[in-house]
Amino acid sequence: MGARRMAEEARYIEQLASGYVFPLTNEYRWTIWAVNTIHSLETGTVRKMNLSVKNTGLITNLTPGCCVEVPCMVDRGGVHPCYVGDLPPQCAALIQANVNVQQLAVQGIVEKDKNKLMQAIMLDPLTRAMLSMDEIKK
């Protein structure tokens, strides 16, 4: 861990120990999604939000079980993802390529298989665009 990261972590630990209340600001715009989700779950206020959920047949031409972002209704009863169906084939192909890389990385981690992890890194489009195979192996 870098020195900057360690100093930042130490500062957070000190703030938590002192009872500091962290402000919610627009600096972290994603916090509004969490706040709105929790508010709907607690109060029953119905909201339509785009959320990341497990693909349970919601997007039919992507791997079941992968994480997908779809429209969801949120209320006191929970998060209710909406069916999307097929994406345009070119979109599904691009997304599925990333899903395959992510699945291979997860398998490598779960199985403690460095070869699978290396293959996942080598298949990642951004990594391939920035580094040669020799650089990736290093």
Domain boundaries, the chain: 88-138
Q: Give the model's pLDDT for residue 136.
A: 86
Token output for 22 = 């962290």
Is residue 74 classed as helix, strand or coil in its secondary structure? strand
Token output for 65 = 């079980």
Query: Which ranges of the chain have pLDDT less than 50?
Result: none
Q: Give the model's pLDDT for residue 4.
A: 85
Q: With beta carbons less than 8 A apart as the criterion, state whether 72 and 91 touch.
A: no
Q: Give the model's pLDDT for residue 28.
A: 63
What residue type is assigned to position 126 of the chain?
A: L
Q: With beta carbons less than 8 A apart as the criterion, state whether 53 and 68 touch.
A: yes
